[in-house]
Every structure is written in structure tokens, then in C-alpha cells.
Structure 1
Amino acid sequence: GRPRKALAQKVPTTSDANIVAGTLGEPSPVAAPASVLQKENRVVMSDPSAKKKRGKKEKEPPQPSIEKELQEMQEKLEKLTLEKEQAEEMLKAKDEELDTKNKEHEKLRNELKKLQKIKEFKPTMNLPVGLSLRDQDLDKKVKKKKSSSMKKPSPPYVLWCKDQWDEVKKANPEADFKEMSSLLSSKWKQVTAEEKKPYEERYQAEKEAYFKVTGNEKREQEAMKLLEEEHKQKTALDLLEQYLRFKQEVEKEPKKTRKEKDPLKPKHPMSAFFIFSNERRAGLLSENKNVTLAAKIAGEEWKNMTEEQRAPYEKVALEKKAQYAKDLELYKQKKEEEGADQKKVEEETMKLQKQEALQLLKKKEKTENLIKKNKEEKRQQKNNKKSSDPNKPKKPATSFLLFSKETRKCLQEERPEINSATLSALISVKWKEMGEDERKIWNGKAAIAMEAYKKEVEEYNKT
């Protein structure tokens, strides 16, 4: 190529000197001019060795094949799909469990609601007359106190001892209770029947009076028990019907039932604030305002009001409160009167129930007496039949009875210590173990006896 000429050096100006001073500290990359790049390309094109060097530098590392990458991607996709399917199955199972749990919870809630409503069941009928356990204990204590006043009658000997005690004590002042009792007993043995008669009569009279009182009490108790049983049977059926109706209504109507309030009971009076708010609400609602907004405005106005402005409302509230107190007192008086009337009605019903119970007891006694009479008549008829004709021939014994009579005698002689129960057991065992040949003998004896009995019956019927 052509030889390059050296360039002449330029004399730096003041502006060039300043630029050089500024660029020395921070060297900046300067793009090579296009002429230089063209020259380098020409050199490469002319020099093949430079081309090879550049090719070696520009060679990249060998890339993996596309098929392997696709296989790996497919395997990853398969794994992901499997994981996705497993996750979906798990989610489904959990959803099903949650659904079943929710259904069970709903069922339990419905059952609880039904039970709570069933608790509100109130029977509209009179329950059978009966005392609670506490009342029964109190009643027993009262009865014991009453029975202590009516003592058992003392026998004639005790009555005689009471009369003779002072006399015997005067005769023997130093005698103890034991000595006194022995003296009185010896003296009682010497008393004649005529002297004992007044004491015996007195004892009989007291005994009759005592038994009358106790007998009436027992009869009343038995009668009341009968009546209670009858009432229980009736009320059980009525309660069942009422309960079933109530249950059907509960299942049909799941609405909440409020407690029934007494309509005659006076209502609580309104306070001064409520009286003011009722007056103000009408005006606020006419201005097309909500109920909540109206209530808020009324509350704020009441807070900002002075005592003089509140005074008329408070006066009205006090008057209503006084009227409420009077009405409440009248209501309580009415309730007390109703309670007293109810007690009277209950006492009258108790009297009627006692009469009904006594009638039931009489019926029961009549039926029991009739049953007893029938039994006695049947027994008498049987006895009359037995003792009606002594000449009538009796039925002969069976083969087993004939065998048992003879074997009993033999066993009693052999074993005199054995009881009758063990003897009968041994006889029955021997009869069961007996052969047919031996049994035929006893059957023949029984048959002969039966033929003789038939002949006797024929002769008896002829006569």
C-alpha cells in the first residue's frame, strides 16, 4: 500500500486548551469515525488470516437439540396435569365433606328449634289431683299429729290398773314399778268376770269409736287413690292428643311464638322524652324524613331544650305515672279476688272428687263381694257334689298311681329317712326307666279296674 504521511501539529488555541483540561479528569468514549472502520474492513477482506481469527472469536457454544427440550417439556406438563387432577380430587372431597357437615348442622339446628318450641308446650287441661313429694311428706307429718290426738283404746286390764293404782300404792308406798305391776297382776287374777265386765264394755266402746275414725280415713285414702288412677289414665290420653297437635303445628309453622300477655294488665306509662318525640315525629315525617333521622333530630332537640321547655312534658308524664299506679293496684286487687274464688272452686271440686272416689270404692267393694260370693258358691257346689251320693262308684286309679302306691311302701321301708318330695321324684324316675313288659302288667291292672268301674256305673244308673 501507499506510505502514510505524518500530519502537521496544530498550535492549540485558548478554547482547545480549556477542553483538554476538562477532559483529562474524565475520559469519555468517543465513537470511531466511519473512514477508520472502512479501512479496517478493507484490511480484513485483503488478509484471510485476520478473517479466520475473527471467525474463531465469533463462534458460539453448541446448543442442545430441540427434541430433548420437547421431551422434558412434555414430562413436566404430564407431572403438572397429574398434580392438578390430584388437587381437584382433594378439593372435591373437601367440598363434599363440607356439604355433609353443613347439612348435619342444619338438621341439628332444626331439631334444636323444634325442641325449644316443644318446651313451650302448655297443656290446656286440669292435671290429676295429686300431691308433690314435699307436700306428701308434710301431709304425713300432719296426719301423724292428728292420729296422736286419737290414741288407740287401752285394754280392760290397763283400765282396771289405772283405777286400782292409787289404792295399791297407798297400801305399798315403798314398792317399785316392777313390784306394783306384779301386785296388780296377782290382784287381777282374783277379779271375777262380773267385775271385769264394765272395763270390757268400756274397751269395746272405745275400740268401735277408734275403728270408725281410722276406717273412714283409710276408705278416703283408698278412694282418692282410685280416683287419681282414673284421672291419670284420662289425662294421659288428653295430653298425648294435645302434644301431637302442638307438634304438628310446630312442624308446619316455624315462626316464633311470643309469650301471651294479660290484656287486662295496665301498660307502663311513657316518659317525658317519648311524649315529646311522638309529638315531634309527625312534623318531621311530613317533611319527608326517615324514621331514624327523625328520631336523631328529636333526640338532639331534647338535649338542647331548657328545663322550662321540658316542664309541660314532664308534668304529663307524672300524671300518667300516677294513673298507672292506681290502675296497677286495682288490677292486683282483682287478681287476688280471682285467686280467692279459684281456691273456693278448688275446695268444692275436692269435695266432689271425694264423693266420686267414695262411689268408686263402693262399686269396687261390691264387685269384690260378688266375686267372693261366686267363689264360695262354686266351692259349696263342689262340696255338695262330693257329699251328695256316697253310694256313687269312684273312678279307679291309673297304672302310674297303682305303681306309685306299691313302690312308695317299699321305699319307705328301705329308706325311712327320705322326705315325701324325694320319694315322689324317685318313683317318677323308676316309672320312666321301666321297660314295656313291666309297664304292660300295670296297664293290665288299670284296665281290669276300669272295666269293673264301668259295670258298677251301669248298675248305679239303673237304680
Structure 2
Amino acid sequence: MPRAKADKPRGRMSSYAYFVQTCREEHRKKHPNEAIAFAAFSKKCSERWKVMSDKEKKRFVDMADKDKSRYEAEMKTYVPPPGGGKKGKGKRRPKDPNAPKRALSAFFWFCNDERPALRAANPDSTVGDIAKSLGKKWAEVDESVKAKYEAMADKDKARYAREMAAYKSGLASNAAEDDEEDEDDDDEEDDE
């Protein structure tokens, strides 16, 4: 299938990639109806490549050099599309520093209480080790203790909901104020 002009040139292939491609074509000619188990096939190609002499590899090295020249020539004339040419979701929106902080889960409230003591007892532990220890402690903790932290999490969730509602209404009112200011500016221009 031909590529559109704006598409980035196909990447260059290595000498080993050319070798594997050639092996695959040879295998298909010898066994046209046989499905190729790629993992086993790739392993055999790798073993074969390792025992090949430089003289035998030269053909594939030349193919790779030729493809490298093609790629570099195409890249000289390639102009990326505006907007970076990225496919998919695109860039993330930056986080608003005025937005309320998210609610903590019961586990995180537990970690905030237990981490200083754990760190003091194990000063040489890494962050990952401490996190694993906290996870194990949380799994073993009593239901009554968990209930305390779940209540804290529920309270924090309510706080977050309140603050988020106020934040969103503030955004809506700010947007409305901006619209009103724009209308006022338009009225002043009409008067002239």
C-alpha cells in the first residue's frame, strides 16, 4: 500500500533484519503451506547468524548500507506535519495548580501514619521496600483499624467533592465573567 506524502519515511533495516527476511522467504518457498512459528524460527535464524562468517554476512551488510542511504535521502526531504504528526490522544492538558487535591484512600491515610515509624526502624530501606512493608502491614491490620482509616477516607472524599464543586462553579463563573467583559467591549465599540 503506497504511503501518503506526509508519512514519515520507513525506518532503515539492519543487516540482521535483511537476513531474517531472506530466511523467511526461503522457508516460504520450500514450505508454502506451513505456518511459521516465529519464536522457533527466529531462534534458528539467530543461531545461524552467529556462526556465519563476515564474508557470508557481507551481502546483508551491503543491503543494510543501501537501505541506510535510502532512509537518509528520504529524511532530508521529509517535512513533519504541523502539530508534531502524533497519532493518538495527543498531549495531556497541564494540571491546574488551583484545582483541589484529590482525596486520599484509606490505605494512603494508613501509610501517612505508619511510614515515619517504619522509616525510622529501617533507615537503609528503599522507597520500594517501605511501600512493600506498608502493603503487607495493611493486609494484616485489624478491621477496626481499617474502619478508622476508611472513615478518614470518606471524610476526605466529601471534602474533595465540596472543593471540586466550588472549583468548577468558580470556573463557570469566571468563564461567564469573561463573556460579560467581551460583551461590554463589543458594546463600547458599537457606540463609537
Scaled by the length of structure 1, the TM-score of the pair is: 0.25
- Structure 2 residue identity aligned to 1:272: A
Distance 2:117 2:78 in 1: 46
Matching residue of 1:284: 118
What's the CA shift for 1:272? 0.6
For the structure 1 residues 261 and 85, does the alpha-carbon distance in structure 2 shift closer, same or farther, using more than 3 Å as the test? closer
Is contact 1:281–1:298 with CA below 8 Å preserved after alignment? yes
Is contact 1:272–1:317 with CA below 8 Å preserved after alignment? yes
Matching residue of 2:59: 90
- The question of 1:313 aligning with 2:158 is answered no
Distance 1:258 1:268 in 2: 18
Matching residue of 2:183: 347
Aligned-residue sequence identity (percent) comes to 25
Is contact 1:271–1:314 with CA below 8 Å preserved after alignment? yes
2:104 corresponds to which of 270, 288, 292: 270
Give the structure with the higher percent helix: 1
Q: Report the 3-state secondary structure (helix = DSSP H, G, I; strand = E; otherwise coil) of the residue aligned with 1:261.
A: coil
What's the CA shift for 1:89? 4.6
- The question of 1:302 aligning with 2:134 is answered no
Matching residue of 1:19: none
Distance 2:187 2:149 in 1: 57
- Structure 2 residue identity aligned to 1:332: K
Scaled by the length of structure 2, the TM-score of the pair is: 0.54
Larger radius of gyration: 1
Q: Report the 3-state secondary structure (helix = DSSP H, G, I; strand = E; otherwise coil) of the residue aligned with 1:298.
A: helix
- Structure 1 residue identity aligned to 2:177: D
Is contact 1:268–1:324 with CA below 8 Å preserved after alignment? yes
Map residues 36-435 of structure 1 onto 2, 5 A cutoff. Answer: 87=56, 89-100=58-69, 111=80, 114-116=84-86, 259-286=93-120, 287=122, 288-355=124-191
For the structure 1 residues 107 and 323, does the alpha-carbon distance in structure 2 shift closer, same or farther, using more than 3 Å as the test? farther
Is contact 1:281–1:294 with CA below 8 Å preserved after alignment? yes
Q: Report the 3-state secondary structure (helix = DSSP H, G, I; strand = E; otherwise coil) of the residue aligned with 2:107.
A: helix
For the structure 1 residues 109 and 312, does the alpha-carbon distance in structure 2 shift closer, same or farther, using more than 3 Å as the test? farther
Give the total of aligned pairs. Answer: 135
Distance 2:176 2:74 in 1: 50
Distance 1:320 1:301 in 2: 22
Is contact 1:285–1:291 with CA below 8 Å preserved after alignment? no
For the structure 1 residues 262 and 89, does the alpha-carbon distance in structure 2 shift closer, same or farther, using more than 3 Å as the test? closer
For the structure 1 residues 343 and 88, does the alpha-carbon distance in structure 2 shift closer, same or farther, using more than 3 Å as the test? closer
Q: Pairwise CA RMSD of aligned residues?
A: 3.7
Which contiguous aligned blocks of 4+ residues in structure 1 show a shift greater than 6 angstroms?
104-110
For the structure 1 residues 105 and 301, does the alpha-carbon distance in structure 2 shift closer, same or farther, using more than 3 Å as the test? farther
Name the structure, 1 or 2, with higher relative contact order (CA <8 Å, separation 6+): 2
What's the CA shift for 1:308? 0.6
Uncovered stretches (5+) of structure 1, i.e. residues with no partner:
1-83, 121-256, 357-463
Q: Report the 3-state secondary structure (helix = DSSP H, G, I; strand = E; otherwise coil) of the residue aligned with 1:289.
A: coil
Distance 1:276 1:109 in 2: 55
Distance 1:274 1:88 in 2: 58
- Structure 2 residue identity aligned to 1:296: K
Is contact 1:267–1:324 with CA below 8 Å preserved after alignment? yes
- Structure 2 residue identity aligned to 1:302: W
For the structure 1 residues 339 and 306, does the alpha-carbon distance in structure 2 shift closer, same or farther, using more than 3 Å as the test? same
For the structure 1 residues 335 and 91, does the alpha-carbon distance in structure 2 shift closer, same or farther, using more than 3 Å as the test? closer
Is contact 1:276–1:313 with CA below 8 Å preserved after alignment? yes
Distance 1:86 1:345 in 2: 77
For the structure 1 residues 104 and 276, does the alpha-carbon distance in structure 2 shift closer, same or farther, using more than 3 Å as the test? farther
